[in-house]
A = this chain, B = another copy of it.
């Protein structure tokens, strides 16, 4: 399926991310269908022209040339198993989940022979939820990672990269599931652990009167969806524990430098940190 052709896209799960995919793809002229278990969600999306067609049941599946699984990671494999009898032959599926090792192989193992699943991780989000808050501007300046396995065809990998491009992502890259999960444990899950710990390690009610921008920046993500993040942490437990240990060890290093007044050691860390962070701002 080429992105320049007319294609019927079906989005399974019309939340913040699913809704944002819908808006981007509809703007580009695709026919966008959605399945969601919540009737009100479908009604809202139809009324606001976010989708062309929407159902709470299976009935749109046979029309879909491609399916975006915009579901919680823990239910992706089960959803495929429950619904694949209705898939069109040759359908291509992708997902949006933030953990891969546990999801990708499970889906690929159970998937029909005449369908292909190519995993992707759109690294975009907001602190609010649901289709009403969806907005495809969140993809601009953001990163998109394609996560193929040896079971994927070159065609599907190319298709998935193109999907990232048409959605408007700035940087598209490719990682194995293991590389992806270790990276994500670092840049996403570890940062959320830190933000939560920073917010809960002290019990001051008047914090707001004393904080500057730095504390606000480090705790923006401390407003956190506890169901989703607990699930993500547990699904990526081993890589995350490794990253937490690495970070705590580095905090202990810096602590020792302050304790021992190791001026040169501390300045060296700060110069390294400055140099690395500057690469982001180019």
Q: How many Å from the CB of A41 to the closest CB on chain B? A: 23
Interface check A111, CB cutoff 8 A: no
A23-31, A55-63, A99-107, A215-223 - interface stretch: A215-223
Give the chain B neighbours of A184 by CB distance below 8 A. Answer: 210
| CB atoms of B267 and A226 under 8 A apart | yes
Cα distance, A279 to B215, chains bound together (Å): 13
The answer to whether the Cβ of A115 comes within 8 Å of any Cβ in the partner chain is: no
* Residues A278 and B198 in contact in the complex (CB < 8 Å), given A212-B142, A212-B143, A230-B270: no
Q: A218-B218, A259-B241 are in contact. Are A194 and B198 (CB under 8 A)?
A: yes
Residue numbers in B under 8 Å from A281 (CB-CB) = 223
CA distance A220 to B192 in the complex (A): 15
Docked complex Cα distance between A197 and B270 (Å): 9
CB neighbours of A5 from chain B (8 A): none
For the complex with contacts A217-B221, A222-B274, 9 further pairs of A-B residues with Cβ separation under 8 Å are A142-B212, A193-B254, A197-B247, A214-B220, A223-B278, A230-B267, A230-B270, A237-B261, A244-B258
